[in-house]
Structure 1
Amino acid sequence: MNLLVLPGVYAPQDDTALLAEALAEEPLAPGARVLDVGTGSGALALAAARRGARVTAVDVSRRAVATVRLNARLAGLRVRAVHGDLFAPVSAETFDLVLANPPYVPAPPTGREPRGAARAWDAGGDGRLVLDRICRDAPPLLRPGGALLLVHSALSDAGRTVGALRAAGLRTAVTEHRWVAFGPVMRARQSWLRDRGLLTDEDDKEELVVIRAERQR
């Protein structure tokens, strides 16, 4: 899929591709309601729209929202793109499928919230600044039989994510995983991550996982 990506907007990468593969395997009825939260360029939102879903895309970046609208228009697809912080714009709605590729890279403390483009990857000292919010706030948005597909790094504790979603009553498992070479952000933080015990001296790849959590009917 050819996409335009405005400066400062998260461009599709390995995590996007892995989540897109999980989306392709997901049964999705025509007219199903899909939420793509932290949409970035809108790659996943457009993939769902191509399958006939009614898609809402949310991002905290106004440039990302503009990017999604532009890409949807160029592709001739209908996607409702809204600006807001995570689930705030859709808190009164429910969905058949929620897609999430949130920030998950552990980041050295700065004493302030991530800003600018870094909002797409910086996620606090343990990488769970947004992940824990998703585990808490996504389950009520799922319709009976609805599912959450969430991608993040194993460095951010996939077991904790699985446990939190199971505790919320969802049937949860890791369904996809892939080892990928470090990108620029990870390479820049290797020393700090080693000091934290999250990497060894030999590590030069990162494991990405997709977690699927389904609300029972």
Structure 2
Amino acid sequence: MRNDEVRKALSLYFVMGTPNAKEQEPLAVLEAALRGGITCFQLREKGEHALEGDALLGFAKKCQALCRLYRIPFIINDDVDLALAINADGVHVGQDDELASSVRKRIGPDKWLGVSTHNANEVQLAQSIGADYVGLGPIYPTATKLDASAVVGSTLVKDIHTSFPDMPIVGIGGISIDNFAPVLLAGADGVAIISSIASADEPMKATQAFSEAIQSI
């Protein structure tokens, strides 16, 4: 049941922090994306001018309130203390963040745990410590993450889907409305979007376009 719930939530997974919403007010971008049909939101507050302390806490609570209003999961990237403080729905960690096994112990069995992965070994480890899903990528070249790993392409998605059929997968990295389809066709349950929504002139319309295109596959 939980596995099905996770797969559904990964369909159109929006990832954003205040540095990603360069032209518009971040909360307005999030609400536009929610109205447009995102199925999950991850607050990834990293990079230049990222919020910290009370400012981050306040922003996270506002994001969480919006997600609850639209009844979609609210995930915190990397910051386990923040996730526990506001009772977020889950935590997502990368390979260079706190160990996923440690995070699972801290958040308990009920909250979702996502892990960024780049190869089969990392997926196997994530599965062994009870990750609910893996983010696989970067699928395409991306400018959002300056220290991104080597591009893996949709071929790896197919390989992981075949080798780990029970593990929900969301593809991430450089994904746009023009190139997302091969990721889903390779076996991913969904795609994670940052810039194509956060930097869009009309985030709601951009999200709607994704949502409609995904449903048509």
TM-based fold match above 0.5? no
Select the structure that is richer in strand: 1
Select the structure that is richer in helix: 2
The one of the two structures with greater contact order (alpha-carbon pairs below 8 A, sep at least 6) is 2
TM-score (norm 1): 0.36
